[in-house]
Chain A
């Protein structure tokens, strides 16, 4: 199994808090707890999907991995070397480890830069001075994402949403990073373009040996793309496992609720009952599922101590001792 080897990206006991300002020149002691003691690992050439409630801290986790947000506690290591805390590398080194594809293809490209400028800038910044090499790299990257090198002279508004998302992917690939964080990569795209982008991402993953962390609300996309799935609730992982176990045998009540709420057009039209036929499995003895009740947490309080226990092959669920 993949879990025998060392993970490419390892997140340990990560917490991120945002202080709540209580007005001018005062700092309150309250803080929004966006991420609470979260541990997670990503293996090479895997796609790990993170699903969860809106506001549970997924984007904050993504920003922390990319170094755009400082952790309050805990650590993240890349290839065994810590990238948070004292030994933290600078932005330049980080840039070659992980890159991100953003949700909104319109806001993620600078309207005043041509595609060429957007791709050449980072290359020059990272020391590629030779003009020929820069051009080569841009041309190959654009071809990789299915665009023509001639199109590089254009401005973002001359591209459709799907093409812009391809440009966003090209920008994420230009520095040849190992990990790509995809925050809702296809939710702004229409169905037919969504299929193109998903196929492209899967193809690139194999060709370039990339690893993905994907955040998505669209569970059919998650099922199609992931190797592993982590279900997040209030800054913690409440269930994690290989995609087939999560989709076929979901254990945690929150996961089951998510899967039951998927609006699948064909079942809706057939007015089928999509509630799961199988029963909620009982928790391990001596434990209850955590959270017991959904939607009752207070984002200003840290959650109670809980345990993340194995329920099946490589499949873990969060419990609280009774």
Chain B
């Protein structure tokens, strides 16, 4: 019961947000950027502007919807890059061991001791603002946890009988890492991955606030939040709705990750049948 609930509820939230983002033009009747009209500034939610308007009179509803495109892209793509780097380093370090392991462990410790946002900031400063550099900056800086988990799982999995058996059956090391080790750590990696997507969405907000994210008129939840900061007393809706959007997305991702982990566990699967 609970398994299904997490998976379906979390999945549904994610799917709804994804659909709203992808098909945003079908749901909105104001342009998120061009329909700026100071006459309409700071209107509370009403029949025409469902979520109200911001300081420039733009429709918050359509900006939230369009903004999800940026936030979701940043979350998914940068976390994918993080997971791939973390898995690559972590599995190989744990499985191969020796000097390579010492090197990777040293590197992850260095990464962990510097806040990843500062790291991302430095990369953004070099690459300049924009979506592409945002993805690269966030994708290169938040893989240390994935790497640590992957390394310690690989280290304990490699002494399991089935890994030894695979070697005696002639499997190459690469094949063993992919077919025997990786599938057995997918649970924790997924959970870290969904949390990481949430992190990335929040980091995007932070970087946008510093003027290093998406360039202004284009909406992203992060830039909307920061724009709305000065209005929090007069037009709280301009901050609340993107806030709720971030919250729901992160919640949906976490539930989905949890449910997916349980679903992928073969112990859980057959008992349901």
Contact = CB atoms under 8 A, between A and B. Distances in A.
Task: Find the residue from A95, A99, A110 having the highest chain B CB count within 10 A.
Answer: A110
A24 B102 contact: yes
A111 interface: yes
Given A100-B164, A102-B164, A108-B161, A92 B102 contact: no
A203 interface: no
Nearest to A175: B169
Interface stretch (A121-129, A140-148, A189-197, A267-275): A121-129
Interface in B148-180: 160-162, 164-172, 175, 179-180
Contact of B180 (A68, A90, A110): A110
Contacts of B266: 111-112, 155, 157
A63 B175 CA distance: 20
A107 to B, nearest CB: 5
B184 interface: yes
Interface in A94-112: 94-95, 98-100, 102-104, 107-112
B183 interface: yes
A158 interface: yes
B162 A108 contact: yes
Nearest to A95: B170
Nearest to B180: A110
A171 interface: yes
Given A112-B266, A155-B266, A102 B170 contact: no
A108 B237 CA distance: 58
A91 B176 CA distance: 13
B46 interface: no
B184 A122 contact: no
A122 B162 CA distance: 13
A99 B169 contact: yes
A25 interface: yes
A94 B170 contact: yes
A66 interface: yes
Given A91-B172, A121-B179, A155 B165 contact: no
Interface string B171-204: 1100100011001100000000000000000000
Contact of B270 (A63, A155, A168, A175): A155
B163 to A, nearest CB: 8
B168 A68 contact: yes
User: Considering residues B160, B164, B169, B270, which has the most beta carbons from chain A within 10 angstroms of its beta carbon?
Assistant: B169
Interface in B234-263: none
B255 to A, nearest CB: 23
Contacts of B272: none
Contacts of A24: 102
Interface residues of A, number: 38
A112 B183 contact: yes
The interface residues of chain B, by DSSP majority, are classed as helix
B2 interface: no
Nearest to A158: B270
B270 A95 contact: no
Given A110-B180, A112-B266, A125 B169 contact: yes
B138 to A, nearest CB: 30
A102 B165 contact: yes
A273 B166 CA distance: 47
A187 to B, nearest CB: 13
Contacts of B168: 66-68, 91, 94-95, 98-100
Nearest to A65: B168
Nearest to B184: A112
A68 B164 contact: yes
Contacts of A91: 167-168, 170-172
Contacts of A168: 161, 165
B237 to A, nearest CB: 47
A107 B165 CA distance: 10
Contact of A122 (B170, B269, B270): B170
A99 B171 CA distance: 13
Nearest to B164: A68
B184 A111 contact: yes
Nearest to A181: B168
User: Which of B164, B168, B172, B267 has the most chain A CB atoms inside 10 A of its CB?
Assistant: B168
Nearest to A177: B168
Contacts of B171: 91, 121-122, 125
Contacts of B170: 90-92, 94-95, 122, 125-126, 175
B139 to A, nearest CB: 28
A107 B160 contact: yes
B106 to A, nearest CB: 9
Nearest to B163: A110
Interface string A6-30: 0000000000000000001100000
B74 to A, nearest CB: 31
B240 to A, nearest CB: 43
Contacts of A99: 168-169
Interface in A44-95: 63, 66-68, 90-92, 94-95
Interface in A109-154: 109-113, 118, 121-122, 125-126, 154
8 contacts: A63-B164, A68-B167, A91-B171, A109-B162, A111-B267, A112-B184, A121-B171, A157-B270
Given A67-B168, A68-B167, A125-B175, 12 more contacts: A68-B164, A68-B168, A91-B167, A92-B170, A94-B168, A94-B170, A99-B168, A102-B161, A108-B162, A109-B161, A121-B179, A125-B169
